[in-house]
């Protein structure tokens, strides 16, 4: 495989891809704002054409879930119209597109992990615009792979793990939602999954192309359980810790509604490409270690 272009530079997934590419023996090129802006379809077409890439990975999105409720047009442009332009450009160039989507395309009902073919029912602007992006890609480009992930954290950018460790520096106790259940997912594991998939295409370029896959951490917990796990790991390394009190979603005023059952079943990805993320506590430990260990790449 030659010529892999990643859209996104400083985001969690983009930086994780940059870090994990060398051990997979892959070289990636990165682009992003301003020369490739999701809000500017022409800039995306130019970037794909100029790169000569065979594979485009979209690691960029409007990811601010509550903010999206206030700016639905911006979210639609970045999460749907932009990805559609990327897909059209890839189709014109004979390239394939790996696109990342979200558990928030589901309505959160039931109590079993969501499978790819389950009916979608997004509850938020973010979820609706991400679903619109998926559908636009399916319509524009047969050579796609859509990967839905969830609850993403990493040593990079902004995420729940970094927020918890920061807030615990000043507050002895925190109130965290206890009835939303999902799969905490290290962006480094998503990167490993994507790079494994690209590696599979070296031998078998058609494998799994045109499919939608769930790719999330193995095992599930609530946000409160996630927070407790973060603090237990941190405390063991003499890092910041706080008491966690559970609160119900119904009693927590968030602008965007969120699904209660967000669990994703990642079996199809494992069966197709031979990669399954490690159990979430293992991946979490690695990231907490890096965050507390003064890793210079953690910002």
Ligand X SMILES: NC(=O)c1ccc[n+]([C@@H]2O[C@H](COP(=O)([O-])OP(=O)(O)OC[C@H]3O[C@@H](n4cnc5c(N)ncnc54)[C@H](OP(=O)(O)O)[C@@H]3O)[C@@H](O)[C@H]2O)c1
Active site residue 126: yes
Of the residues 104, 126, 213, 275, which is catalytic? Answer: 126
Rule CB under 6 A: say whether 13 interacts with ligand X.
yes
Q: Which stretch binds ligand X (CB under 6 A): 149-157, 224-232, 262-270, 289-297?
A: 149-157
Rule CB under 6 A: say whether 181 interacts with ligand X.
no
x/- map, 204-243, ligand X, by CB under 6 A: ----------------------------------------
Closest C-alpha among 74, 139, 61, 141 to residue 105 = 61
Backbone angles phi, psi at 259, to 5 degrees: -65, 140
**Distance of closest approach, residue 190 Cβ to ligand X, in angstroms:** 7
Among 5, 11, 81, 96, binds ligand X (CB under 6 A): 11
**Distance of closest approach, residue 293 Cβ to ligand X, in angstroms:** 21
Rule CB under 6 A: say whether 259 interacts with ligand X.
no
- Answer whether 227's CB lies under 8 Å from 174's CB: yes
How far, in Å, are 32, 89, 102, 160, 290 from residue 185 at the CA level?
Answer: 24, 30, 12, 11, 16
Q: Which stretch binds ligand X (CB under 6 A): 10-18, 224-232, 270-278, 283-291?
A: 10-18
Among 20, 96, 124, 151, binds ligand X (CB under 6 A): 151
**Distance of closest approach, residue 211 Cβ to ligand X, in angstroms:** 17
Q: Count residues near ligand X (CB under 6 A).
A: 27
**Distance of closest approach, residue 203 Cβ to ligand X, in angstroms:** 27
- Answer whether 288's CB lies under 8 Å from 230's CB: yes
Q: How far apart are CA 100 and CA 38, in angstroms?
A: 14
Q: How far does CA 254 lie from the centroid of its chain? A: 21
Considering the complex, state which of residue 214 and residue 228 has its C-beta at the smaller distance from ligand X. 214
Among 6, 85, 105, 150, binds ligand X (CB under 6 A): 150
Rule CB under 6 A: say whether 70 interacts with ligand X.
no
Rule CB under 6 A: say whether 168 interacts with ligand X.
no
Q: Tell me the H-state helices in 214-279.
A: 223-236, 267-273
**Distance of closest approach, residue 156 Cβ to ligand X, in angstroms:** 7
Restricting to residues 73-102, name those near ligand X by CB under 6 A: 78, 100, 102
Considering the complex, state which of residue 41 and residue 239 has its C-beta at the smaller distance from ligand X. 41
Q: How far apart are CA 127 and CA 135, in angstroms?
A: 12
- Answer whether 107's CB lies under 8 Å from 154's CB: no
**Distance of closest approach, residue 238 Cβ to ligand X, in angstroms:** 28
Encode burial over 51-79: b for 16+ CB neighbours within 10 A, e otherwise.
bebbbbbbbbbbbebeebbeeeebbbbbb
Longest dimension (CA), the chain: 55
Residue 103: burial class (beta carbons within 10 Å; 0-12, 13-18, 19+): buried
């Amino acid at each position: 495989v030659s010529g892999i272009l990643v859209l996104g530079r400083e985001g969690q997934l983009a930086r994780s891809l940059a870090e994990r590419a060398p051990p997979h023996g892959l070289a990636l090129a990165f682009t992003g704002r301003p020369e490739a802006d999701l809000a500017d379809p022409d800039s995306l077409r130019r970037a794909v054409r100029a790169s000569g890439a065979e594979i485009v990975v979209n690691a960029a999105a409007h990811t601010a879930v509550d903010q999206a409720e206030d700016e639905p047009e911006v979210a639609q442009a970045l999460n749907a119209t932009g990805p559609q332009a990327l897909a059209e450009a890839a189709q014109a160039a004979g390239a394939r597109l790996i696109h990342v989507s979200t558990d928030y395309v589901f309505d959160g009902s039931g109590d079993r992990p969501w499978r790819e073919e389950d009916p979608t029912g997004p509850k938020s602007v973010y979820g609706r615009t991400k679903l619109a992006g998926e559908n636009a890609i399916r319509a524009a480009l047969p050579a796609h792979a859509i990967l839905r992930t969830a609850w993403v954290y990493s040593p990079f950018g902004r995420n729940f793990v970094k927020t918890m460790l920061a807030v615990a520096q000043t507050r002895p106790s925190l109130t965290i939602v206890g009835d939303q259940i999902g799969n905490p997912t290290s962006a480094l594991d998503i990167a490993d999954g994507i790079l494994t998939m690209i590696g599979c295409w070296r031998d078998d370029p058609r494998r799994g192309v045109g499919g939608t896959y769930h790719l999330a951490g193995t095992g599930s917990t609530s946000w409160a359980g996630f927070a407790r796990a973060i603090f237990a790991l941190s405390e063991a390394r003499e890092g910041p810790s706080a008491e966690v009190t559970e609160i119900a979603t119904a009693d927590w005023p968030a602008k965007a509604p969120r699904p209660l059952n967000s669990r994703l079943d990642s079996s199809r990805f494992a069966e197709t490409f031979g990669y399954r993320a490690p159990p979430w506590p293992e991946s979490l430990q690695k990231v907490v270690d890096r965050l507390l260990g003064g890793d210079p790449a953690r910002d």
